[in-house]
Amino acid sequence: MASRRRHHRTALAVTATLLTLTAAVGCGAVDKALDCVRTADAIATSVDNLQQAISNASNDPTQASEALDQIDKELKELGDTTDNADLGKAVDDLQAGVTNVRDSIEKGDATPDITPVTDAATEIGKVCTP
C-alpha cells in the first residue's frame, strides 16, 4: 500500500512539473507572438509614414529617409525575436525593398517604387497574425 501511495505522489509530482513546463513554454510562445504582432503593427505604421513621405517628397525630402530608418530599426527588433522561416523571408524581402527605395532616393528619384516594401510589410502582417 505504501509503495502505491509513493507511486501516486511521484506521478502527481511529474504531472505537475510537466504542466508547469508546458505553461512556461506556452507563455513564451504567446509573448513571442505578441511581440511579432506589435512589431508588425509598428512596421505597418512606418510603411504608411513612408508612403506619406514619398507623396510629400517635394515639401520635405528627409521624411522618407526618417521613415526608412524607422523601418530598419523595427526590422532589426523583429529579426531578433523570431526563428520562423516565413517571417524571416518576409523580413529579408522588406529589408531588400527598403534598401532599393533608399538607393533610389539617394540617386535623386523623388517618387521611388515602394511596392516591394508594402508587399513585404503586408506579408509580415499575415505571418504575425495569430
The grid cell for 121 is 510589410
Reading the block at residue 17, the C-alpha cell is 512539473
In this prediction, residue 16 carries a pLDDT of 38
Closest CA to 87 of 54, 129, 50, 31: 129
Joined together, the cell numbers standing for residue 13 give 509530482
Which residue shows C-alpha cell 523623388? 110
pLDDT of residue 20: 41
pTM of model > 0.75 = no
Q: How far apart are CA 79 and CA 126, in angstroms?
A: 16
Which residues in 55-66 are b (16+ Cβ under 10 Å) and which e? eebeeeeebbbe
Distances (CA, A) of 89 to 10, 29, 78, 80, 94: 46, 20, 12, 14, 9
Q: Is the pLDDT of residue 42 over 90?
A: no
Q: Is the pLDDT of residue 7 over 50?
A: no
Average pLDDT over every residue of 27-43: 74
Nearest to 50 by CA among 103, 129, 124, 112: 112
**If pLDDT is split at 50, 70 and 90, which confidence band does 115 have?**
very high
